[in-house]
A and B are shown apart, each in its own frame.
Chain A
Protein backbone atom coordinates (compact mmCIF):
# COMPACT_ATOMS: atom_id res chain seq x y z
CA UNK A 1 0.00 0.00 0.00
CA UNK A 2 1.81 3.11 -1.25
CA UNK A 3 0.00 5.20 1.38
CA UNK A 4 2.08 3.55 4.12
CA UNK A 5 5.81 3.86 3.52
CA UNK A 6 8.48 2.04 5.44
CA UNK A 7 12.19 2.79 5.37
CA UNK A 8 14.56 1.13 4.93
CA UNK A 9 13.22 -1.83 2.97
CA UNK A 10 16.20 -3.97 3.87
CA UNK A 11 18.80 -3.66 6.60
CA UNK A 12 21.68 -5.85 7.67
CA UNK A 13 23.41 -4.94 10.89
CA UNK A 14 25.45 -6.37 13.73
CA UNK A 15 24.52 -7.49 17.21
CA UNK A 16 24.50 -4.62 19.69
CA UNK A 17 23.78 -1.87 17.18
CA UNK A 18 20.92 0.58 17.60
CA UNK A 19 18.48 0.50 14.71
CA UNK A 20 15.53 2.67 13.81
CA UNK A 21 12.82 1.66 11.39
CA UNK A 22 10.60 4.41 10.13
CA UNK A 23 7.01 4.50 8.99
CA UNK A 24 5.08 7.35 7.46
CA UNK A 25 1.51 7.43 6.20
CA UNK A 26 -0.61 9.69 4.07
CA UNK A 27 -3.95 8.08 4.93
CA UNK A 28 -4.72 10.47 7.77
CA UNK A 29 -5.31 7.60 10.20
CA UNK A 30 -4.87 8.05 13.93
CA UNK A 31 -4.07 4.43 14.72
CA UNK A 32 -0.64 3.04 13.84
CA UNK A 33 0.90 -0.36 14.57
CA UNK A 34 4.21 -2.19 14.42
CA UNK A 35 4.29 -5.96 13.81
CA UNK A 36 6.99 -8.50 13.23
CA UNK A 37 6.56 -11.54 11.01
CA UNK A 38 8.53 -14.70 11.43
CA UNK A 39 8.21 -17.78 9.20
CA UNK A 40 5.42 -20.03 10.44
CA UNK A 41 4.36 -17.65 13.21
CA UNK A 42 2.15 -15.14 11.48
CA UNK A 43 2.26 -11.52 12.62
CA UNK A 44 2.80 -10.48 16.20
CA UNK A 45 2.03 -7.01 17.54
CA UNK A 46 4.95 -5.07 19.02
CA UNK A 47 3.47 -1.63 19.78
CA UNK A 48 0.47 0.42 18.77
CA UNK A 49 -0.52 4.06 19.03
CA UNK A 50 -3.88 5.81 18.94
CA UNK A 51 -2.35 9.28 18.65
CA UNK A 52 0.84 11.19 19.38
CA UNK A 53 0.34 10.97 23.14
CA UNK A 54 -0.99 7.42 23.32
CA UNK A 55 1.51 4.54 23.01
CA UNK A 56 0.67 0.98 24.02
CA UNK A 57 2.65 -2.23 24.32
CA UNK A 58 1.66 -5.18 22.21
CA UNK A 59 2.34 -8.86 22.56
CA UNK A 60 6.14 -8.72 22.21
CA UNK A 61 7.41 -5.26 23.18
CA UNK A 62 10.53 -6.33 25.11
CA UNK A 63 13.69 -5.13 23.35
CA UNK A 64 11.80 -2.54 21.32
CA UNK A 65 10.75 1.08 21.74
CA UNK A 66 8.66 3.40 19.61
CA UNK A 67 8.16 7.07 18.98
CA UNK A 68 5.11 8.76 17.49
CA UNK A 69 6.59 11.97 16.21
CA UNK A 70 3.44 13.13 14.46
CA UNK A 71 0.13 11.71 13.38
CA UNK A 72 1.78 10.55 10.18
CA UNK A 73 5.02 9.13 11.62
CA UNK A 74 5.65 6.15 13.86
CA UNK A 75 9.17 4.79 14.30
CA UNK A 76 10.38 1.56 15.86
CA UNK A 77 13.77 1.29 17.57
CA UNK A 78 15.86 -1.64 18.59
CA UNK A 79 18.17 -0.22 21.24
CA UNK A 80 20.67 -3.07 21.14
CA UNK A 81 19.87 -5.50 18.37
CA UNK A 82 20.18 -9.24 18.90
CA UNK A 83 20.05 -12.04 16.29
CA UNK A 84 16.60 -13.30 17.32
CA UNK A 85 15.19 -9.94 16.28
CA UNK A 86 15.92 -10.91 12.69
CA UNK A 87 12.51 -10.77 11.04
CA UNK A 88 10.24 -8.93 8.64
CA UNK A 89 8.78 -5.81 10.27
CA UNK A 90 5.52 -4.22 9.19
CA UNK A 91 3.90 -0.91 9.97
CA UNK A 92 0.13 -0.60 9.63
CA UNK A 93 -2.52 2.07 10.05
CA UNK A 94 -6.23 2.02 10.73
CA UNK A 95 -9.03 4.55 10.68
CA UNK A 96 -10.83 3.11 13.67
CA UNK A 97 -11.69 0.20 15.90
CA UNK A 98 -13.76 -1.81 13.45
CA UNK A 99 -11.82 -0.78 10.39
CA UNK A 100 -9.28 -2.78 8.38
CA UNK A 101 -5.57 -2.22 8.72
CA UNK A 102 -3.40 -0.93 5.89
CA UNK A 103 0.13 -2.24 5.71
CA UNK A 104 3.41 -0.98 4.38
CA UNK A 105 5.64 -3.29 2.34
CA UNK A 106 7.83 -4.12 5.29
CA UNK A 107 11.45 -3.89 6.38
CA UNK A 108 13.53 -7.04 6.16
CA UNK A 109 15.95 -6.84 9.07
CA UNK A 110 18.89 -9.19 9.51
CA UNK A 111 21.04 -9.05 12.62
CA UNK A 112 24.35 -10.86 12.45
Chain B
Protein backbone atom coordinates (compact mmCIF):
# COMPACT_ATOMS: atom_id res chain seq x y z
CA UNK B 1 0.00 0.00 0.00
CA UNK B 2 1.27 3.47 -0.80
CA UNK B 3 2.08 5.62 2.18
CA UNK B 4 4.09 8.62 1.04
CA UNK B 5 3.08 10.72 -1.94
CA UNK B 6 5.60 13.16 -3.39
CA UNK B 7 4.54 16.49 -4.82
CA UNK B 8 5.13 17.75 -7.44
CA UNK B 9 5.61 14.65 -9.55
CA UNK B 10 8.09 16.48 -11.75
CA UNK B 11 10.09 19.67 -11.34
CA UNK B 12 12.41 21.42 -13.76
CA UNK B 13 14.64 24.24 -12.55
CA UNK B 14 17.82 26.09 -13.49
CA UNK B 15 21.16 25.40 -11.91
CA UNK B 16 21.62 27.51 -8.80
CA UNK B 17 17.94 27.64 -7.92
CA UNK B 18 16.45 25.90 -4.91
CA UNK B 19 14.25 22.83 -5.30
CA UNK B 20 11.52 21.93 -2.84
CA UNK B 21 9.78 18.57 -2.83
CA UNK B 22 6.91 17.63 -0.56
CA UNK B 23 5.78 14.32 0.81
CA UNK B 24 2.45 13.56 2.45
CA UNK B 25 1.61 10.38 4.29
CA UNK B 26 -1.44 8.86 5.91
CA UNK B 27 -0.63 7.07 9.16
CA UNK B 28 1.55 7.58 12.21
CA UNK B 29 5.19 6.98 11.49
CA UNK B 30 8.37 6.08 13.32
CA UNK B 31 10.61 7.84 10.84
CA UNK B 32 10.60 9.29 7.34
CA UNK B 33 13.46 8.90 4.89
CA UNK B 34 14.40 10.55 1.62
CA UNK B 35 16.22 8.70 -1.16
CA UNK B 36 17.64 9.71 -4.53
CA UNK B 37 17.74 7.50 -7.61
CA UNK B 38 19.86 8.35 -10.61
CA UNK B 39 18.81 6.85 -13.91
CA UNK B 40 19.68 3.17 -14.09
CA UNK B 41 21.00 3.03 -10.54
CA UNK B 42 19.84 1.95 -7.12
CA UNK B 43 18.41 4.26 -4.49
CA UNK B 44 20.80 6.25 -2.36
CA UNK B 45 19.81 7.28 1.15
CA UNK B 46 19.85 11.05 1.76
CA UNK B 47 18.35 11.80 5.17
CA UNK B 48 16.38 10.03 7.90
CA UNK B 49 14.21 12.13 10.21
CA UNK B 50 12.57 10.62 13.25
CA UNK B 51 9.02 11.38 14.30
CA UNK B 52 10.20 13.46 17.27
CA UNK B 53 12.40 15.65 15.08
CA UNK B 54 11.24 18.70 13.14
CA UNK B 55 14.19 19.57 10.97
CA UNK B 56 17.49 18.06 9.80
CA UNK B 57 20.27 19.31 7.60
CA UNK B 58 22.89 17.55 5.54
CA UNK B 59 25.08 19.70 3.34
CA UNK B 60 22.76 21.40 0.82
CA UNK B 61 19.78 19.34 1.97
CA UNK B 62 17.20 20.44 4.51
CA UNK B 63 14.34 18.20 5.57
CA UNK B 64 11.38 19.23 7.68
CA UNK B 65 8.74 17.05 9.24
CA UNK B 66 5.30 18.13 10.43
CA UNK B 67 3.62 15.16 12.08
CA UNK B 68 0.42 17.15 12.76
CA UNK B 69 0.00 17.64 9.02
CA UNK B 70 1.55 14.29 8.14
CA UNK B 71 3.92 15.95 5.71
CA UNK B 72 7.61 16.42 5.03
CA UNK B 73 9.58 18.59 2.69
CA UNK B 74 13.02 18.20 1.14
CA UNK B 75 14.82 21.40 0.14
CA UNK B 76 17.89 21.25 -2.07
CA UNK B 77 19.66 24.59 -2.10
CA UNK B 78 21.86 25.92 -4.91
CA UNK B 79 20.97 23.02 -7.14
CA UNK B 80 23.45 21.48 -9.58
CA UNK B 81 22.99 19.53 -12.79
CA UNK B 82 24.21 16.49 -10.86
CA UNK B 83 21.12 16.74 -8.63
CA UNK B 84 19.02 15.62 -11.59
CA UNK B 85 17.41 12.41 -10.37
CA UNK B 86 14.23 10.91 -8.99
CA UNK B 87 13.55 11.51 -5.31
CA UNK B 88 11.52 9.25 -3.07
CA UNK B 89 10.17 9.63 0.41
CA UNK B 90 9.70 6.49 2.47
CA UNK B 91 7.98 6.01 5.78
CA UNK B 92 8.29 3.45 8.51
CA UNK B 93 5.05 2.95 10.42
CA UNK B 94 5.15 2.35 14.16
CA UNK B 95 6.86 -0.94 14.92
CA UNK B 96 6.70 -2.22 11.36
CA UNK B 97 9.88 -3.43 9.70
CA UNK B 98 8.51 -2.36 6.33
CA UNK B 99 9.66 0.82 4.65
CA UNK B 100 6.90 2.09 2.38
CA UNK B 101 8.00 4.18 -0.59
CA UNK B 102 6.16 6.87 -2.48
CA UNK B 103 5.97 6.85 -6.26
CA UNK B 104 8.82 9.30 -6.62
CA UNK B 105 9.38 12.75 -8.03
CA UNK B 106 11.61 13.57 -10.99
CA UNK B 107 13.85 16.60 -10.61
CA UNK B 108 15.62 18.05 -13.64
CA UNK B 109 18.27 20.70 -13.08
CA UNK B 110 19.19 22.47 -16.29
CA UNK B 111 22.76 23.78 -16.64
Q: Which residues of A contact B (CB under 8 A)?
A: 1, 4, 31, 33, 35, 40-45, 48, 50, 56, 58-59, 90, 92, 97-106
Contact of B42 among A56, A97, A104 (CB under 8 A): A104
26 contacts between A and B (CB under 8 A): A31-B97, A41-B103, A42-B2, A42-B102, A43-B90, A43-B101, A45-B98, A45-B99, A45-B100, A56-B97, A58-B98, A90-B42, A90-B43, A92-B43, A97-B92, A97-B97, A98-B50, A99-B48, A100-B45, A100-B48, A101-B99, A102-B45, A103-B43, A105-B41, A106-B41, A106-B42
Given the complex of chains A and B, what is the CA–CA distance between A19 and B3 in angstroms?
30
Given the complex of chains A and B, what is the CA–CA distance between A72 and B36 in angstroms?
24
Binary CB contact string for chain B from 85 to 111 against chain A (1 if under 8 A, 0 otherwise)? 000101010000111111110000000
Q: Which residues of B contact A (CB under 8 A)?
A: 1-2, 30-31, 33, 40-45, 48, 50, 88, 90, 92, 97-104
Given the complex of chains A and B, what is the CA–CA distance between A33 and B92 in angstroms?
14
Given the complex of chains A and B, what is the CA–CA distance between A45 and B33 in angstroms?
16
Task: Specify the chain A residue showing the minimal Cβ separation from B9.
Answer: A40
CB pair B31–A101 under 8 Å, yes or no, is: no
Task: Specify the chain B residue showing the minimal Cβ separation from A58.
Answer: B98
Which residues of chain B are near A43, meaning CB under 8 Å? 43, 88, 90, 101
Given the complex of chains A and B, what is the CA–CA distance between A33 and B103 in angstroms?
18
Which residues of chain B are near A97, meaning CB under 8 Å? 92, 97
Which residues of chain B are near A99, meaning CB under 8 Å? 48
